[in-house]
Amino acid sequence: YPWDKSSLKSMPVDLQQFEKLDAYALKVNVKNSVEELVTALLKQARTDLEKVRAIWMWICHHIEYDVVGYHNKSQLSSKPIDVLQTGKSICEGYAELFEQMCSIAGIQCMKLSGYSKGYRYKMGQTFTGDSDHAWNAVYLDGRWHLLDSTWGSGAVDDSFTKFTFRYNEFYFLTHPALFINNHFPDNSNWQLLKPTLTLKDFENNMLHNSNFYTLGLLTAEPQTAVIRTVNGKASVSVDCRSATLFKFELKGTDEHGLMTLKKHGMKLDIYPQKTGSHKLQIFAKPSKASEDVYNCVLEYVVECESVDKAMRFPKGLHQPVGPSWFTERQGFLRPSHPDPVIHTNDGRCSLTFTLGKDISVFALLHCDNSSLTEDKRRQHIMQIHRGNQIELKIHLPHAGNFVLKIYAKKKSDPGNYDYVFNYLITCLNTEVKWPAFPQVYSKWAEDYEILEPLSGLLPANRNVQFKLKMHGIAKVLVRADDTHPLTQSRGCWEGTCNTSGCGEVFVMVQENANHSFYSHVLKYEVESQ
């Protein structure tokens, strides 16, 4: 149902104005009679809304769900006085106590019953027989409003043996367009919606629990609980109000999907690697939250009829994939590749970013069944800095699916690099076999640049042209079998070197003309004869 998205409530409510009233209502301790309790509660309440609020707060914090009574209904009384004196009940008792307290306070209130998507609910189930839940409607400001004090008071555990008080503001005067998500009244007029929803739609519709709305999420696609894959793929997207972080689990793991963060939400493509039914859960947390606690906001069943084997991702792929508002916050601006997957046919690609102040970058290439060590794979990435721009040049050692992992730290920080984000790089061309870039030593400054040769493996018995962009140094030598000086012209050091009779070639620099000391900056291998 469309709702104006400005409020989760069915009328304007300022929770800050309720702070004193709420605190007062929690302290009231009267158990003799319902009348006495209401009289005590109303001492601080002037308007009808405040009266309803005081009654609501008291019930939500003083009546616990009776898990024993639920399993043995013959022993159970839902009479308001019994509920008050035992301090426990099931939904029926909560709703009857609420109705009687409102009636004493002079407020019109109805007890409603119907089907609910509560603790026993299984995704995609149908509803038949008697109603399974009770809640209330109250008349305020010339209109009816909905609330559920049972669900406002707390939660029972999965085994239905223990209740925990955990106040939930969401179920107080909930907007009808949101209440219909998990409450279907016996009498459809009490949906307070036009047109009313059919039971079939209620059964098929996606269940958004209260976390979904309280975290500022707005809509989710698809809107049905069961998703069928098309050519091995299923997609889910969520729209939200503010920056939110997401996680997902398909059958308990996040391996078989590609999740990308959007400015106002996220998009997820799922590629199950087995046919059949799979449970998909989506979790979220506000980006400002200090704790690392994600709440489950959506659950789907993914029905997979065929598997797309080509979309088997490397184990090292970390969700979410690709750049986003989150990586921008970490100082990676204006990415040349906004998408999470980079396809390369010739095995080469180049990514650029504008970097925030004082950021040092470290990149790794990961591949599941590569014979190369991590250090060797790292030599297939070259960093080039031009002012506040960074370019990452990548020459893949072979075809396959690679993860490009990007880490960063403050230059002024002596500590370790922190992981920021990753891309998936795919190359299907089996003829691809690029050599590594030359090995770089610590004296190679961040803003130096190799123009040629880019390959770290030089041909044997050849004259090789060198062209290097370096500044602030006195001399540059290339040492092979003998030593070749490079000459400086227009900011570049250029010259040739012959690779005959040697296995390695080094580039060395003299930083100060007054000293005869040279530092190694680059090392090339030479092909064996």
Supply the Cα-derived Rg of the chain in whole angstroms. 33
Q: How far apart are CA 378 and CA 366, in angstroms?
A: 9
- Per DSSP, the three-state class of 15 is helix
**Known active-site residue 133:** yes
- Closest to 262 measured CA to CA, from 329, 216, 337, 324: 324
- Closest to 528 measured CA to CA, from 432, 436, 457, 431: 457
Give the 3-state secondary structure of 323-345: CCHHHHHCCEECCCCCCCEEECC
Give the 3-state secondary structure of 424-482: EEEECCCCCCCCCCCEECCCCCCCCEEEECCCCEECCCCEEEEEEECCCCCEEEEECCC
Q: In which residue are the tokens 């898990």 written?
A: 67
- Count of beta carbons in the 10 Å neighbourhood of residue 210: 20
Q: How far apart are CA 338 and CA 354, in angstroms?
A: 13
Q: How far apart are CA 313 and CA 338, in angstroms?
A: 19
**Exactly one of 62, 133, 183, 208 is catalytic; which is it?**
133
Classify 215 in phi/psi space as left (phi over 0), alpha (psi -120 to 50) or beta. alpha
**Known active-site residue 148:** yes
64 close to 153: Cβ distance less than 8 angstroms: yes
Residues present in the chain in total:
529
Pairing status of strand 457-458 against strand 519-526: parallel
Q: How far apart are CA 505 and CA 62, in angstroms?
A: 80
| φ, ψ for residue 363, nearest 5 deg | -130, 145
- Closest to 280 measured CA to CA, from 241, 250, 319: 250
**Known active-site residue 4:** no
**Exactly one of 148, 240, 366, 398 is catalytic; which is it?**
148
Q: What angle do CA 461, 467, 469 make, to 5 degrees?
A: 150
Q: How far apart are CA 451 and CA 448, in angstroms?
A: 10
Written as six digits, the tokens of 83 are: 């509920």
Q: What does 244-292 look like in DSSP terms, one character per residue? A: EEEEEEETTBS-SEEEEEETTEEEEEE--SSSEEEEEEEEEEETT-SS-
Q: How far apart are CA 144 and CA 11, in angstroms?
A: 10
- Per DSSP, the three-state class of 20 is helix
Q: How far apart are CA 86 and CA 82, in angstroms?
A: 6
503 close to 514: Cβ distance less than 8 angstroms: no
**Exactly one of 60, 91, 304, 497 is catalytic; which is it?**
91
Q: How far apart are CA 461 and CA 480, in angstroms?
A: 11
146 close to 183: Cβ distance less than 8 angstroms: yes
Catalytic residues, which ones?
Answer: 91, 133, 148
